[in-house]
Amino acid sequence: MLSKLFFGYFAVIMVALSLLVITRRNPVHSVLWMLVLFFHIAGLYLFLNAEFLAAVQVILYAGAILVLFLFVIMMLNIKVEITAERFIGEWPIGVALGLSILMLIYFTTSKLIQGPAGQFSIEAIKAETHTKALGKVLYTEYLFPFEIASLILLIAIVGAIVLAKKRG
Protein backbone atom coordinates (compact mmCIF):
# COMPACT_ATOMS: atom_id res chain seq x y z
CA MET A 1 0.00 0.00 0.00
CA LEU A 2 2.76 2.42 0.98
CA SER A 3 4.75 1.53 -2.13
CA LYS A 4 1.71 2.20 -4.33
CA LEU A 5 1.22 5.57 -2.65
CA PHE A 6 4.91 6.35 -3.22
CA PHE A 7 4.69 5.37 -6.88
CA GLY A 8 1.49 7.40 -7.29
CA TYR A 9 3.20 10.52 -5.97
CA PHE A 10 6.14 10.01 -8.32
CA ALA A 11 3.91 9.33 -11.33
CA VAL A 12 1.69 12.39 -10.84
CA ILE A 13 4.63 14.73 -10.19
CA MET A 14 6.65 13.39 -13.12
CA VAL A 15 3.80 13.77 -15.62
CA ALA A 16 3.09 17.29 -14.37
CA LEU A 17 6.78 18.21 -14.61
CA SER A 18 7.09 16.86 -18.16
CA LEU A 19 4.05 18.91 -19.18
CA LEU A 20 5.66 21.99 -17.61
CA VAL A 21 8.90 21.29 -19.51
CA ILE A 22 7.25 21.30 -22.93
CA THR A 23 4.86 24.23 -22.32
CA ARG A 24 6.97 26.94 -20.64
CA ARG A 25 7.66 30.06 -22.68
CA ASN A 26 11.08 30.76 -21.18
CA PRO A 27 13.64 27.99 -21.96
CA VAL A 28 15.43 28.60 -18.64
CA HIS A 29 12.24 27.67 -16.78
CA SER A 30 11.96 24.52 -18.91
CA VAL A 31 15.51 23.50 -18.01
CA LEU A 32 14.90 24.09 -14.29
CA TRP A 33 11.66 22.04 -14.33
CA MET A 34 13.58 19.32 -16.14
CA LEU A 35 16.18 19.38 -13.34
CA VAL A 36 13.42 18.62 -10.80
CA LEU A 37 12.12 15.89 -13.13
CA PHE A 38 15.55 14.24 -13.33
CA PHE A 39 15.83 14.18 -9.54
CA HIS A 40 12.43 12.46 -9.40
CA ILE A 41 13.58 9.91 -11.98
CA ALA A 42 16.64 9.24 -9.81
CA GLY A 43 14.30 8.68 -6.87
CA LEU A 44 12.29 6.20 -8.92
CA TYR A 45 15.53 4.34 -9.75
CA LEU A 46 16.29 4.08 -6.02
CA PHE A 47 12.77 2.72 -5.57
CA LEU A 48 13.62 0.03 -8.19
CA ASN A 49 16.86 -0.96 -6.38
CA ALA A 50 19.14 0.61 -9.01
CA GLU A 51 21.17 2.89 -6.76
CA PHE A 52 24.19 3.18 -9.06
CA LEU A 53 21.97 4.30 -11.93
CA ALA A 54 20.32 6.85 -9.64
CA ALA A 55 23.75 8.35 -8.92
CA VAL A 56 24.63 8.33 -12.63
CA GLN A 57 21.29 9.99 -13.43
CA VAL A 58 21.98 12.85 -11.02
CA ILE A 59 25.65 13.31 -11.98
CA LEU A 60 25.34 12.92 -15.74
CA TYR A 61 21.89 14.23 -16.63
CA ALA A 62 21.32 16.83 -13.91
CA GLY A 63 24.99 17.76 -13.62
CA ALA A 64 26.32 17.63 -17.16
CA ILE A 65 23.62 17.64 -19.85
CA LEU A 66 21.38 20.28 -18.26
CA VAL A 67 24.37 22.56 -17.60
CA LEU A 68 25.21 22.21 -21.30
CA PHE A 69 21.64 23.29 -22.14
CA LEU A 70 21.90 26.27 -19.79
CA PHE A 71 25.20 27.34 -21.41
CA VAL A 72 23.60 27.30 -24.85
CA ILE A 73 20.56 29.26 -23.61
CA MET A 74 22.93 31.95 -22.33
CA MET A 75 24.22 32.38 -25.90
CA LEU A 76 20.75 32.82 -27.39
CA ASN A 77 18.54 35.89 -27.29
CA ILE A 78 15.99 35.30 -24.53
CA LYS A 79 14.15 38.61 -25.16
CA VAL A 80 12.97 37.49 -28.61
CA GLU A 81 12.16 34.09 -27.18
CA ILE A 82 9.71 35.37 -24.59
CA THR A 83 7.59 37.34 -27.06
CA ALA A 84 7.57 34.79 -29.88
CA GLU A 85 4.75 32.30 -30.51
CA ARG A 86 5.42 29.02 -28.68
CA PHE A 87 3.50 26.41 -30.63
CA ILE A 88 3.07 25.65 -34.31
CA GLY A 89 -0.32 26.45 -35.83
CA GLU A 90 -1.20 22.77 -36.27
CA TRP A 91 -0.69 21.84 -32.61
CA PRO A 92 -4.06 20.00 -32.21
CA ILE A 93 -2.88 17.49 -34.83
CA GLY A 94 0.27 16.83 -32.80
CA VAL A 95 -1.73 16.29 -29.61
CA ALA A 96 -4.16 13.96 -31.41
CA LEU A 97 -1.23 11.98 -32.82
CA GLY A 98 0.26 11.67 -29.34
CA LEU A 99 -3.02 10.48 -27.83
CA SER A 100 -3.49 7.88 -30.57
CA ILE A 101 0.02 6.53 -29.98
CA LEU A 102 -0.68 6.43 -26.23
CA MET A 103 -3.83 4.34 -26.94
CA LEU A 104 -1.75 2.05 -29.16
CA ILE A 105 0.87 1.51 -26.42
CA TYR A 106 -1.89 0.92 -23.86
CA PHE A 107 -3.63 -1.75 -25.93
CA THR A 108 -0.38 -3.53 -26.78
CA THR A 109 0.99 -3.62 -23.21
CA SER A 110 -2.23 -4.31 -21.27
CA LYS A 111 -1.98 -8.05 -22.10
CA LEU A 112 1.64 -8.23 -20.93
CA ILE A 113 2.83 -11.58 -19.56
CA GLN A 114 5.98 -11.50 -17.48
CA GLY A 115 8.84 -13.73 -18.64
CA PRO A 116 10.93 -16.09 -16.50
CA ALA A 117 13.06 -14.43 -13.82
CA GLY A 118 16.84 -14.18 -14.25
CA GLN A 119 19.60 -14.90 -11.76
CA PHE A 120 20.01 -11.41 -10.28
CA SER A 121 17.43 -11.48 -7.50
CA ILE A 122 17.47 -8.74 -4.84
CA GLU A 123 19.27 -11.06 -2.42
CA ALA A 124 21.97 -11.94 -4.98
CA ILE A 125 22.58 -8.24 -5.75
CA LYS A 126 22.58 -7.38 -2.06
CA ALA A 127 25.23 -10.04 -1.37
CA GLU A 128 27.48 -8.70 -4.15
CA THR A 129 26.53 -4.96 -4.05
CA HIS A 130 24.77 -3.39 -7.01
CA THR A 131 27.74 -1.59 -8.57
CA LYS A 132 29.90 -4.71 -8.56
CA ALA A 133 27.18 -6.88 -10.08
CA LEU A 134 26.50 -4.28 -12.78
CA GLY A 135 30.21 -3.85 -13.52
CA LYS A 136 30.68 -7.59 -13.90
CA VAL A 137 27.91 -7.80 -16.51
CA LEU A 138 29.10 -4.63 -18.28
CA TYR A 139 32.78 -5.61 -18.53
CA THR A 140 32.33 -9.28 -19.45
CA GLU A 141 29.15 -9.82 -21.44
CA TYR A 142 28.92 -6.30 -22.91
CA LEU A 143 32.60 -5.45 -23.35
CA PHE A 144 32.41 -4.87 -27.11
CA PRO A 145 29.34 -2.56 -26.95
CA PHE A 146 31.17 -0.72 -24.17
CA GLU A 147 34.13 -0.06 -26.48
CA ILE A 148 31.76 1.13 -29.22
CA ALA A 149 30.14 3.51 -26.70
CA SER A 150 33.53 5.06 -25.97
CA LEU A 151 34.05 5.51 -29.73
CA ILE A 152 30.65 7.25 -29.96
CA LEU A 153 31.72 9.67 -27.22
CA LEU A 154 35.00 10.39 -29.03
CA ILE A 155 33.12 11.13 -32.28
CA ALA A 156 30.74 13.41 -30.33
CA ILE A 157 33.65 15.40 -28.86
CA VAL A 158 35.34 15.81 -32.26
CA GLY A 159 32.04 16.62 -33.98
CA ALA A 160 31.04 19.23 -31.41
CA ILE A 161 34.41 21.00 -31.73
CA VAL A 162 34.30 20.94 -35.53
CA LEU A 163 30.70 22.22 -35.66
CA ALA A 164 31.08 25.01 -33.10
CA LYS A 165 34.48 26.43 -34.07
CA LYS A 166 34.91 29.64 -36.01
CA ARG A 167 35.20 29.55 -39.77
CA GLY A 168 38.84 30.04 -40.62
Partner 1 sequence: MVPLNWYIGLSAVIFVIGMVGFIVRKNILIMLMSIELMLNSVNISLVAFSHYLQDLRGQVFVFFIITVAAAEAAIGLAILVALFKNKAAVHTDEIMEMKG
Selected from 63, 127, 147, 149, the binder of partner 1 by CB under 8 A is 149
Interface with partner 1, residue 67, by CB under 8 A:
no
Selected from 63, 82, 91, 129, the binder of partner 1 by CB under 8 A is 91
CA-to-CA dists, residue 131 to 42, 47, 51, 113, 152, angstroms: 16, 16, 8, 29, 23
Which residues in the 103-142 window bind partner 1 by CB under 8 A? 105-106, 109-110, 112, 114-122, 125, 133-134, 137-138, 141-142
Segment 10-19 long-range contacts (CB within 8 Å, at least 24 positions apart): 10/40, 10/43, 10/44, 10/47, 13/40, 14/40, 14/41, 14/44
Q: Tell me how far, at minimum, the Cβ of 139 lies from partner 1, in Å.
A: 10
Which residues in the 20-59 window bind partner 1 by CB under 8 A? 21-22, 27, 30-31, 34, 37-38, 41, 44-45, 48-50, 53, 56-57
Nearest of 50, 54, 46, 43 to residue 11 by alpha carbon: 43
Selected from 9, 58, 65, 82, the binder of partner 1 by CB under 8 A is 65
Selected from 39, 55, 58, 69, the binder of partner 1 by CB under 8 A is 69
Q: Tell me how far, at minimum, the Cβ of 90 lies from partner 1, in Å.
A: 8
Nearest of 147, 153, 163, 165 to residue 64 by alpha carbon: 153
Q: Nearest 5 degrees, angle CA 25-CA 27-CA 33?
A: 95
Selected from 101, 126, 129, 147, the binder of partner 1 by CB under 8 A is 101
Selected from 72, 127, 129, 147, the binder of partner 1 by CB under 8 A is 72
Give the C-alpha separation, 73 to 64, whole Å: 14
